[in-house]
Structure 1
Amino acid sequence: MTAPTITPDEWAAWRGFRRMAEITSGRIVHDITRSTGLSSADFVVLMELSKAKDRCRRQRELLDYLEWDKTRLSHQLTRMAGRGLIERDTDSDNVVVIRMTAEGRTQLGAARPVHVTSVRRNFLDHLSADDLAALQQITDKLHAALQDAEN
């Protein structure tokens, strides 16, 4: 069986995508951490919890959404609980439920405007409406392909 090959143009596209994503994400995370002390992982977990009307999720749902290793999520949640950002509870089905605390809401509330400003400055302000539409089409296409690969 012959190993797949990648053309120079394909390598350039891949490297450009990776570098752009790393730099942009890194700058946004830096802004959030500098302003609030929240790490990227803290922010992502709190944002996901904030989407639920009761600000809680089953630990398994967080694991599925984040696509992290179970150990990584467990360690992250332990750190966040230690800082009072979340609480772990067990529901009537003996399922671990993660709930955002008042401190978590406060910290997320402080981080959201920083996040919006940083996303605008480091990403959105550099793209036209056509660029954004094209990027959305590409991300939808890749997301669908990855979902199909799982099934």
Structure 2
Amino acid sequence: MDEKSISLSDTETQAWRGLLQMNELLVSRTNRPIQNDFGLSEADCAVLTELTQDPEGWMRISDLVGNLGWERSRISHQLGRMAKRGLAVRKQYAADRRGALVAATGKGRSAITVAAPRHTEEISRLFFDHLSPRQIVLLMEITDRIIKVIRADTTAP
């Protein structure tokens, strides 16, 4: 590949850097009150949100990895920390001894239920309140498209 084919335009560079900076700021600022008021980290919230989507409660760890897009080792360490705090529990998957299931405990479900309205308030205040309905739809279309492309990319490690 020649240098020109791998260079980003100034606009692309600005858009990419802006996206990264916006993401860091949003994650940090929306999580700060959740950490301070409820003792939940951004990672705790991400995991608990996924685990509480299913009323039955149990999820294969491999599905959690896929849903969050995290490395398996990151999930494993996060679940270990959450288990020590009584927020999540693991068990072997009966149908496949190599697999494991995870669920939010009652304490974990309660924690995310109490923290979610505050988190939603911060997301709206810092993000959605500054976008038109049309921009929100466009953003949803963009993110859906990029997520599909990335998940379909078989060349990624």
Q: TM above 0.5, one fold?
A: yes
**What are structure 1's unaligned runs of at least 5 residues?**
none
Using structure 2 for the length normalisation, give the TM-score: 0.89
- Quick one: distance in 2 between partners of 1:122 and 1:10? 24
Aligned to 1:135: 139
- Quick one: distance in 1 between partners of 2:45 and 2:141? 26
| Displacement of 1:120 | 0.9
Count of matched residue pairs: 151
Q: Answer yes or no: is 1:122 the counterpart of 2:132.
A: no
| Displacement of 1:91 | 2.8
- Residue 153 of structure 2 aligns to a residue in which SS? helix
Distance 1:150 1:104, change over 3 A: same
Using structure 1 for the length normalisation, give the TM-score: 0.93
RMSD of Structure 2 on Structure 1 (CA): 1.5
1:36-70 deviation per Cα after TM superposition (whole angstroms, max 9, x unaligned): 11011111110000111211201111112222222
**What are structure 2's unaligned runs of at least 5 residues?**
none
Which 10-residue stretch deviates more, 104-113 or 135-144? 135-144
Report runs of 4+ in structure 1 exceeding 3 Å deviation: none
- Quick one: distance in 1 between partners of 2:110 and 2:22? 31
Where does 1:1-150 land on structure 2 (aligned, <5 Å)? 1-3=1-3, 4-93=6-95, 94=97, 95-150=99-154
- Residue 150 of structure 1 aligns to a residue in which SS? coil
- Quick one: distance in 1 between partners of 2:31 and 2:51? 18
- Quick one: distance in 1 between partners of 2:93 and 2:12? 49
- Quick one: distance in 2 between partners of 1:66 and 1:140? 14
Report the identity percentage.
34
